[in-house]
Structure 1
Amino acid sequence: MEQRLQITFYKFLLLTTFTSLYWVLASPTLSFNFYAASCPTAEFMVRNTVRSASSLDQTLPGKLLRLLFHDCMVEGCDGSVLLEGNGTERSDPANTSLGGFSVVDSAKELLELFCPATVSCSDILALAARDAVEFAGGPNVQVMTGRRDGRVSLASNVRPNIIDTSFTLDEMNNLFSSKGLSLDDLVTLSGAHTIGSAHCSAFRDRFQEDSEGNLTLIDSSLDKIYADELTKKCPADASLSTTVNNDPETSMLFDNQYYRNLLSHKGLFQSDSVLFSDGRTTVKVEELSKSQESFFMKWGQSFFKLINIGVKTDNEGEIRRLCTSING
C-alpha cells in the first residue's frame, strides 16, 4: 500500500513538473517566485489575508474562486473584473452577485504598504483563489506570477465569455476551447462547484411555477428528493438574495463530493447535470467521483492552465495602485 502511494506521488510530481515546464516555456515573462527580490513576502501576505478573512467568513473561498473564473474568462487573467464604474465587467448583471472583492482589496492595501507599485491585482487574485482552495481543504497549486493589470473592462464582453447555468455541453466546450481549455479541463474545473453557493434564479429554469405559486420539477435529470429540498429553500416567492449551497453534502470542503453528487443526480445546475448525462464526459465524472487524489491532481493541472489564460505582461498592462481603478 505504501509503495503504491509513493508511486502515485511520484507520478503527480512528474505530471506537475511537466505541466509547469510547459507553461514556463509558453509564458517566458511569468515565473515562479517572480517577487522573490522585489517583494519576497508577497505570497505570504496574500495567503494570510485569505486565511484571516476566510476564518471569519467560510463562504469566501467559493467567492474568490468564482471571482477568478469570471476574471480569466473575460479579457484573460488581468484583474479587469475588479475595476469599478459604469459599463465595466463588474457592472454587468451577470457579475453583480460576485463576492470576494474586499479580500483582494485588503491584500493590495497591505502590499502597497510594504512593496508599493510592485504586485499586480491580477496576481493577487490568482494567488488568493489558489490559497482559498487550499484553505477549504483542496490541493496547493504552484502559481506563476508577473501578470500585469489590464486597462480595459467592458460589460459587453461578459455574456459572450462566461458559462450560463443552462448551457449544453457543446456550448460549454466551445467556450472553453476558445480559451485553450479542453473537455477534460471543463469537467475538472467544474469541480469548483464543490464549494460556494448560488442564487435561486440560477437553477429556477429546472422548475415550473403553477397558478398557485407552487414549483414543479420539469427537469428529469434532477433527483426528485433533492428537487423537493431545493423548492423548500427556494420557493417561488424567495427573495432575490436567497442562496443555496452548490454542494448539498460538504458545502465548505473542497473535495470530490461534487462528482458523487452528479452520479446521484444532484447537480445543482443543468450545466452540472449534463456532465454525467452526456456520454463524452460520463467516464471522466465517474473517475473523479472515485478518487479525490485523482481530482486534486487534475485540478492542479487544469487550474494552472486557467490562471494563464490571456495574461498581460510587461508593457501590455500596468501595476494598479488601487484594484478598483486604473492608474491616472
Structure 2
Amino acid sequence: MEKAILLLSLLLLLCSVNPSLSQLSFNFYGISCPAAEFMVKNTVRSVSSNDPSIPGKLLRLFFHDCFVQGCDASVLLQGNETERSDPANRSLGGFSVIDSAKRMLEIFCPFTVSCADILALAARDAVEFLGGPAVEIPTGRRDGKVSAVSDVRPNMVDTSFSLDQMIQTFSSKGLSINDLVTLSGAHTIGAAHCNAFSDRFRADTKGNLTFVDGSIDENYASQLSKQCPAGGSPSVTVVNDPSTPFLFDNEYYRMLLSRRGLFHSDSVLVIDDRTKGIVSDLANDQNRFFESWTQSFLRLSTIGVKTANQGQIRISCSSIN
C-alpha cells in the first residue's frame, strides 16, 4: 500500500511538470481491455522461458525508444532512415515479442492497446521475470508517427561517454544523477557486442594487453580479450554481468566497485564523487536498489509520452496506420 501511494505521488508530481501525463493512469485498460497487462506478461514469460536473453533485449529496446522521441514506440517503426536504421540500433532485439503480444491483443481488443504501452509493460515484466521488482506503471500512451535516424545520435548515450556527457543526456530527459546510476543497473542483465568495449584495451598475438582505459581490472580485461579476440566475429557477444547474467540483482554495482564494469560508461560511475557513493549504497543493499529502480523506471517510462491526439494506436507496431 505504501509503495502504491509513493508511486501515485510521484506520478502526480510528474504530471505537474508534463500535463500530458495526466491522461495516463494505472489500469488504463481496466474496462476497454481488462486482460491487456496479463497478455503482455504472459507473452514475455513464455518467450523468455525458452530464450533467457529476451528480458535484457526488451529492457534495452525500451531504453532506446524512450530516449529518442519519448516512450512512443517510434523505435519499432521499420523503413529507410528510421531509428532502427542507425548503427546503434541495428543490434536491438526483442521486436518479435512485442509483435506477438500486439497480434494477440488485436484479436481480443482491436484498435485499443498501443505499441508504446506494450513495450513499456514488456520491459517492466522482463525485469520481474528475472527476479527484479514488480513495478506498477501507468498506461494510456499513444504511438508516435515519426521515426528519424537523425534523432538517434543526439539523444542516445554511448558506452564511451564520460560522466558529464551522461549527466547532460539524462538531464535533458528530466532524469537525475540518482536516476542515471539506478537505471545503469539495467546492465545487470543482457549482453553486449565486443565492439562496445574493445577500445578499452588492446591485445597482441601473444595475448599481452595494452590498456587504453586504466579504470578496468586487468584480470577482467584479460578474460574479455579471450572472449573477443582480435579479428574475431563481430557478432560475438559478452554478458554484462558474468556472475549472475540471468538474474536482476545488485551484482552490477558490486562489479563496478571491483573495477569490472564492462563499459567505460559503467566504470566512470565509481571514479567520480558525484556517483560513487550512490553505487556503494546500491551495492550494499539490494532492497534499496529495487526501491530506487521502481521510482527511476517510472520516470523513464513517462519520458515524452504522447496521449490523446498526439499519437495513434497502431494496428501493426512496425508501421504507422
Of 213, 216, 223, the residue aligned with 1:222 is 216
User: 1:218, CA displacement in angstroms?
Assistant: 2.5
* CA deviation profile, 1:10-65 (whole Å, cap 9, x unmatched): 5x555334223424555111011111111000000000000000000000000000
- In structure 2, what residue type is equivalent to 1:223? D
* CA deviation profile, 1:136-184 (whole Å, cap 9, x unmatched): 1000101100000000000110011111001000000000000000000
Residues 82 and 324 in structure 1, CA contact (< 8 A), matched pair in contact too:
yes
**What is the TM-score with the length of structure 2 in the denominator?**
0.96
Partner Cα separation in structure 1 for residue 169 and residue 112 of structure 2: 33
Of 116, 124, 127, the residue aligned with 1:130 is 124
Of 247, 267, 277, the residue aligned with 2:271 is 277
Partner Cα separation in structure 2 for residue 154 and residue 209 of structure 1: 38
Partner Cα separation in structure 1 for residue 208 and residue 86 of structure 2: 30
* CA deviation profile, 1:250-295 (whole Å, cap 9, x unmatched): 1110000000000000000000000011111000000000000000
Partner Cα separation in structure 2 for residue 212 and residue 252 of structure 1: 33
Unaligned runs of 5+ in 2: none
- In structure 2, what residue type is equivalent to 1:102? S
Of 288, 296, 313, the residue aligned with 2:290 is 296
| Structure 2 CA distance for partners of 1:137 and 1:245, relative to 1, 3 Å | same
Residue 106 (1) aligns with residue 100 (2):
yes
Residues 250 and 289 in structure 2, CA contact (< 8 A), matched pair in contact too:
yes
Partner Cα separation in structure 1 for residue 309 and residue 7 of structure 2: 30
User: 1:213, CA displacement in angstroms?
Assistant: 8.4
Alpha-carbon RMSD: 1.5
Q: For 1:1-328, list aligned pairs within 5 A.
A: 10=2, 12=3, 15-23=6-14, 26=18, 27-210=21-204, 215-327=209-321
Partner Cα separation in structure 1 for residue 234 and residue 167 of structure 2: 30
- In structure 2, the residue corresponding to 1:258 is in which secondary structure? helix
* CA deviation profile, 1:43-99 (whole Å, cap 9, x unmatched): 000000000000000000000000000000000000000000110001111100000
- In structure 2, the residue corresponding to 1:28 is in which secondary structure? helix
Partner Cα separation in structure 2 for residue 206 and residue 84 of structure 1: 33
* CA deviation profile, 1:193-224 (whole Å, cap 9, x unmatched): 00000000000110125487865333211111
- In structure 2, the residue corresponding to 1:241 is in which secondary structure? coil
Equivalent residue number for residue 4 of structure 1: none
* CA deviation profile, 1:84-134 (whole Å, cap 9, x unmatched): 011000111110000000000000000000000000000000000000000
- In structure 2, what residue type is equivalent to 1:20? L
Partner Cα separation in structure 2 for residue 206 and residue 104 of structure 1: 34
Partner Cα separation in structure 2 for residue 284 and residue 313 of structure 1: 34
Unaligned runs of 5+ in 1: 1-8
- In structure 1, the residue corresponding to 2:238 is in which secondary structure? strand
Tell me the matched-pair count: 318
User: 1:299, CA displacement in angstroms?
Assistant: 0.2
Equivalent residue number for residue 5 of structure 1: none
- In structure 2, what residue type is equivalent to 1:160? P
Residues 24 and 31 in structure 1, CA contact (< 8 A), matched pair in contact too:
no
- In structure 1, the residue corresponding to 2:22 is in which secondary structure? coil
Residues 215 and 235 in structure 1, CA contact (< 8 A), matched pair in contact too:
no
- In structure 1, what residue type is equivalent to 2:257? L
Partner Cα separation in structure 1 for residue 219 and residue 204 of structure 2: 19
Partner Cα separation in structure 1 for residue 4 and residue 289 of structure 2: 15
- In structure 2, what residue type is equivalent to 1:22? L
- In structure 2, the residue corresponding to 1:198 is in which secondary structure? strand
Partner Cα separation in structure 2 for residue 71 and residue 117 of structure 1: 21
Partner Cα separation in structure 2 for residue 239 and residue 170 of structure 1: 33
Residues 203 and 225 in structure 2, CA contact (< 8 A), matched pair in contact too:
no
* % identity of equivalent residues: 64
- In structure 2, the residue corresponding to 1:160 is in which secondary structure? coil
Partner Cα separation in structure 2 for residue 16 and residue 29 of structure 1: 16
**What is the TM-score with the length of structure 1 in the denominator?**
0.94
- In structure 1, the residue corresponding to 2:23 is in which secondary structure? coil
